[in-house]
Amino acid sequence: MKLIFLDIDGVCNNKQFFLDFNKSGKKFHPDDMIDPVNVLQLNKIIADTQAKIVVSSTWRVCRSVEHLQELLSRHGVLGEVIGKTPDLCTKSKSGLWVSQTRGDEIQSWLDEYDQNPNGEDIESFVIIDDESGIHQKENFVQTSMDTGLTEVHVQKAIQILNGRKEGSNGSNV
């Protein structure tokens, strides 16, 4: 099985999308903040790799896997959402909430999945996120809030998921 650990803000939307949305005068609802252009890019990865999705975005908090599947499907995402990373926030002695890094949350999900004897083997995974601080660098595609997911990111994600190194198929992609 191939997996996409998916952030949403800065991947499935971008700054220009928000500016255009604000100018449109449409009523704001957080579930509608997904750009169809970025979704088309995500769907290219899914179509080429048959990868499944684990939502690692803060959008996962207070949403079930079923709700995340419905929300992404409603916006045209073709992939199956099979899970979401845990929220590893803890309350410190001083009363402040301290969160772990996105990479730690992804690693926690992977570790827990590996302990499931009925789980399908993970062949490869990619982390698509606009945040830095992901420690799984060889599996990381960093996007930008300025653009969201672009063709360059798509090609890198496909290479990671399909196990091809840059240029290994005779191209200079």
Q: Tell me the per-residue pLDDT of 7-51, one tens digit each, with 9 for 90 and over.
A: 999 999 999 998 888 888 877 777 788 999 999 999 999 999 999
Instruction: Tell me the CATH number at 91.
Output: 3.40.50
Paired strand residues for 55: 6, 84
Q: Which domain holds residue 31?
A: 2-162
Q: Report, as an integer, the average pLDDT of 147-172.
A: 79
The answer to whether residue 113 is domain-embedded is: yes
Residue with tokens 């252009």: 37
Is residue 172 situated within a structural domain?
Answer: no
Asked if residue 168 belongs to a domain, the reply is no
As a whole number of angstroms, the longest Cα–Cα distance in the chain is: 56
* Residue 74 belongs to a domain: yes
Domain-located, residue 173: no
Mean pLDDT taken over the chain: 88
Q: Is residue 89 part of a domain?
A: yes
Number of H helices, E strands in the chain: 5, 7
In a domain, 170, yes or no: no
pLDDT-based confidence at 171, cuts 50/70/90? very low
Instruction: Please count the structural domains in the chain.
Output: 1
